Amino acid sequence: MTRAVRIVVADDHQIWRSGLRADLGDGFAVVGEAADAEEAIETTRRERPDLVVCDLHMPEGGGLRVVREVAAEVPVVILTVSEAERDLLDTIAAGAVGYLLKSTGSDDIRRALRSAAAGEPVFSPQLAALLIGEFRRLSGGGSDTGGQSGRVSALSPREREVLGLVARGHTYKQIGAELFISPKTVENHVRNTMAKLHLSRRNELIRWAVDHGIG
C-alpha cells in the first residue's frame, strides 16, 4: 500500500482544520496543526512532515512567512480563499510549491496534495492561467534575460513539450497520460531540463518557461 502522506495543517480557524482533516481521509496523516505562522514553523521543524498545507492570512505573518521560513525544507501548499494576483505571485516567488483555493473539491485537493508532496507544482486551474499570463506580461512577452533564451535550443522537442505542460500546472501523471509516457519518464524529462537550464527548483522552471513563451 502507498504510505500515507504526513502533513502539517495551519489555519487560524479550528473548524476548517478539522474539516480538512476529515476530508483528507486515510491517504494522509495529519501529524501537526497550527493556528498561526509561528506555530506552523515550529511544528513543521519538529515533525518534519512530507507537506505543509497552510492558509495565507493567519496571525504572526501568515502563510507567506511560513513559505519563506520552511519551503527550502519541505513543500508548502497555500490553501486559501484569496484569488488576488499579488497573493499568488508573492507566495510562488517565495517558494511555495502550490496555491489552491478553498473552493476546490475534496477529490481534487487530495490529488493535488499528493502530487505536491512529491514536489510537483499544483495550482487551481484558473490560477495557473493567471500565473502564466502575469509572468508573460511582466517579462514583456518572453524577452531574453541574461542570455538564457539560447538554452531553449538545447532542449529536445519532447523536453519542450513536457515543459509547456508543467508550466500550465499539469501533474506528472496528467502529462504522462496526455503524451502516452509514464510519470517516471515525465519526471526524468523535467530533471534533465532543469539540469540543462541550471535551475534547482520547479517554481524556477515554471518562471523560466513563462519568461520564454513556453506554456
**pLDDT score of 91:** 87
pLDDT higher for 125 or 61? Answer: 61
Same domain, yes or no, for 50 and 146? Answer: no
Nearest to 108 by CA among 178, 33, 23, 179: 23
Global pTM exceeds 0.85: no
Q: Are residues 111 and 155 in the same domain?
A: no
Q: How many domains does the chain have?
A: 2
In contact, 42 and 8? CB cutoff 8 Å: no
Residues 16 and 62 in one domain: yes
**Residue at 67 is within a domain:** yes
The CA distance from 96 to 203, in Å, is 8
Of 75-84, 118-127, 140-149, 152-161, minimum mean pLDDT range: 140-149
149 and 115 in a common domain: no
SS3 9: strand
- Residue 107 maps to a domain: yes
Please compute the mean of the pLDDT values over residues 111-138 and round it to a whole number.
Answer: 76
Q: Quote the domain boundaries for residue 200.
A: 141-211
In sequence order, the 6+-apart residues with CB closer than 8 A to the CB of 121 are: 97, 98, 166, 169, 202, 203, 206
Residue 136: pLDDT band with limits 50, 70, 90: low
**Is 179 within the bounds of a domain?**
yes
User: Do 49 and 116 belong together in one domain?
Assistant: yes
CA–chain centroid gap for 208, Å, is: 15
The backbone region for 213, taken as left when phi is positive above 0, alpha when psi lies in -120 to 50, beta otherwise, is left
Share of the chain above pLDDT 90, in %: 37
Q: How far apart are CA 164 and CA 97, in angstroms?
A: 17
Which of 65, 95, 123 delimits the end of a domain?
123
More confident residue, 148 or 59: 59
Do residues 74 and 51 lie in contact, with contact meaning Cβ atoms separated by under 8 Å?
yes
Q: What is the pLDDT of residue 134?
A: 59
So what's the pLDDT on residue 144?
Answer: 43
Helical H runs in 48-84? 62-70
